[in-house]
Amino acid sequence: MRTNLGLDERTSPTTPSGARRNGAKLKPTPHHADTREHKLGATARSFAILEHVASSRTPVDVLDIISSVKLPKATAYRLVDWFISQGYLAREPGRRRLIVGPKLTNLAFGALSASMRHDTPHVVLQRLVHTLNETCNIGTLLNGEVVYLDRVEAEHWPLRLHYTIGSRVPLHCSAIGKLYLALAASPRRRRLLQSLELRRFTDSTITDSARLDSELRQIRKEQVSFDRQEYLVGVVCMAVPVIGKNGEMLAALAIQAPEARMSVQTARRHLPTLRNAAGELAEIFQDNA
């Protein structure tokens, strides 16, 4: 006995007579096609908005989105409001213009970090660690903190620092953090400094804003930054920028070691090697863009 689920050839109202028997393929109804097309259109519009805001070097106005992405005004405002409510976009403090929100930043960081673990940048980092015999990492700025995108520990040393990919350290007392502060455009640097709590982590932590400003000027001049046991007692770090063709800072490359093994003077001897690796990373990042 054949079980009828209500969709057999004789009783289904949506199946043309003889269509299955003759092997003919059913075409989607115009309504279904329109719905699918509408969903694809909404998705494309959403990504277009996010890409536009993320790629802009300055905060974006909704009217700019309407003009650049070619969206109806009502659609643009509705999508922007939804992205803000979900944390993918945010309003610039005190103004109406749009910036990337924390949720989109975290999504981008997760994708970038995952792609790097088995990609060419990781090979460059491994080779650098093998050459210098010290731990090295690649870091970026995320929501006012330094986040490690990738990290390779020096294997033969008994003392390990318990950091992993995704670990976060403060801006004002880390080599990468001070590098980002120093090389940021003046308006952004002011915003970052205003939001910073110059918390003391060690006796060497810079907690005076005037002294930090002087340090940042020196970093801008030399294009290299040092953590002189400012975050962890006994740990020294040196960082250099990974600079793109347009002069933008793509990431930072750092070497980190116990002070007993690597003083600031010793770290400086590694500077040419670190800068060569940073140049190699810059080419890789831009080729993958």
Output the DSSP codes for the chain. Answer: -----S-STTT-TTSPTTTTTTTPPPPPPHHHHHHHHHHHHHHHHHHHHHHHHHH-SS-B-HHHHHHHHT--HHHHHHHHHHHHHHTSEEEPTTSS-EEE-HHHHHHHHHHHHHHHTTSHHHHHHHHHHHHH-SEEEEEEEETTEEEEEEEE--TT-S------TT-EE-STTSHHHHHHHHHS-HHHHHHHHHH-----SSTT----HHHHHHHHHHHHHHT-EEEESSSSTTEEEEEEEEE-TTS-EEEEEEEEEETTT--HHHHHHTHHHHHHHHHHHHHHHHHH-
How confident is the model over 265-281, as pLDDT tens digits? 999 999 999 999 999 99
How confident is the model over 96-151, as pLDDT tens digits? 888 878 777 777 666 665 655 557 888 999 999 999 999 999 998 877 788 888 88
Of 111, 102, 157, 116, nearest in space to 133 by CA: 157
Per-residue tokens: 21 = 């028997």
| pLDDT value of position 161 | 57
Report residue 282's pLDDT band, with 50, 70 and 90 as the boundaries: very high
pLDDT greater than 60 at residue 182: yes
79-to-9, 36, 75, 91, 244 alpha-carbon distances in Å: 43, 19, 6, 14, 32
CA–CA distance, 31 with 182 (Å, rounded to integer): 57
Q: In this structure, what are the phi and psi dihedrals at residue 245, rounded to the nearest 5 degrees?
A: -65, -30
* β-sheet bridge partners, residue 146: 141, 169
| pLDDT value of position 158 | 56
| pLDDT value of position 226 | 97
Report residue 1's pLDDT band, with 50, 70 and 90 as the boundaries: very low
How confident is the model over 160-174, as pLDDT tens digits? 555 555 567 889 999
pLDDT greater than 60 at residue 76: yes
CA–CA distance, 160 with 154 (Å, rounded to integer): 8
